[in-house]
Structure 1
Amino acid sequence: MRYIRPLSIEDAVGELAKAVGPAAILAGGSDLLVRMKGGFIEPELIVDIKRIGGLADITETADGFRIGAAVPCAVLGENKAVRKAWPGVVEAANLIGSKQVQGRCTITGNLCNASPAADSVPALVAAGAKAVVAGPSGKRTIAVETVPTGPGRTSLAKGEIIEAILLDKRPE
């Protein structure tokens, strides 16, 4: 098993695209580590995205919010602007695991695990959230409901990674 900590999304995408065996993305790791310990997955490559600039940030834009893929749910819950605009999304993120788990887990990881029991996904869908996907062919923005395709399966192609979740600005 190889473990890497790329500094750019392009490097992460490149490593994921050329991985020979199964690859996993590590942001919070709350589900990944449990699945590895239980023997459910054995990735050839683990790509830790926490050091990639912008992925651990919440940015308020003219259009709404950009929530980096490595933003822990606890940090999301502490953001007053997101809490005010999207209380249902924050409440759903707060349902993921214990307080300790919330310090590590991410809504992007919750989405990408594609579990039918994912706590944050219904709120993201109801909010009309979008995912910014980076891959070998560039970037694209998709509706979050198109990411999970079945239990444990996503629509992401080899080498693709979600770099952020977008929430539109709420009407005043």
Structure 2
Amino acid sequence: MPYCQQSLNEASRANANVDIRETNDGKGYGLFARNNLSKGQHVFRGKALEIHSHASPHSIQTDWDRHVIMDLPAILVNHSCEANLGIRPNLFGAYDFVALQDIDTGRELLWDYETAENEITCEFQCNCGAPRCRSTLKGFHFNGSALVEAYGEENIAPYLLEQKPQEKTA
């Protein structure tokens, strides 16, 4: 998703904990800790800019039939199967991001996409390089127990921990 440098600079300045810059591994843009962050610390807030009833490119699932496009910087957070950020629902229709561990200045801020996505429509190969990389991202539906064990229920989108409502039939 293309962004003008001015938008990236403004988003970076507006978030005291986050620098937006290009990654060294060719992933494009990423978010990096501007200062040392403590485990449990609120790092940044995502706000819903668009709401859809189905997945779309760059959307994040917030409920069974709700997918949102988040604003900067949230839309630029990259994935890792061993993330250092967790999510909490917020009043802006998206997620707040919190540190799952102490994070040193300059380290990339990473989130595990499967903690919010029930089923990833187009499974994709993961290249995060983490020792416990799952290789293919499919969604919470396929890896839920491992994700809860790794991150705890408080770092999983709440709707994923509830039973899916039955589809209405005509």
Q: Which has the higher contact order (CA 8 A, sep 6+)?
A: 1
Tell me the TM-score normalised to structure 1 length.
Answer: 0.32
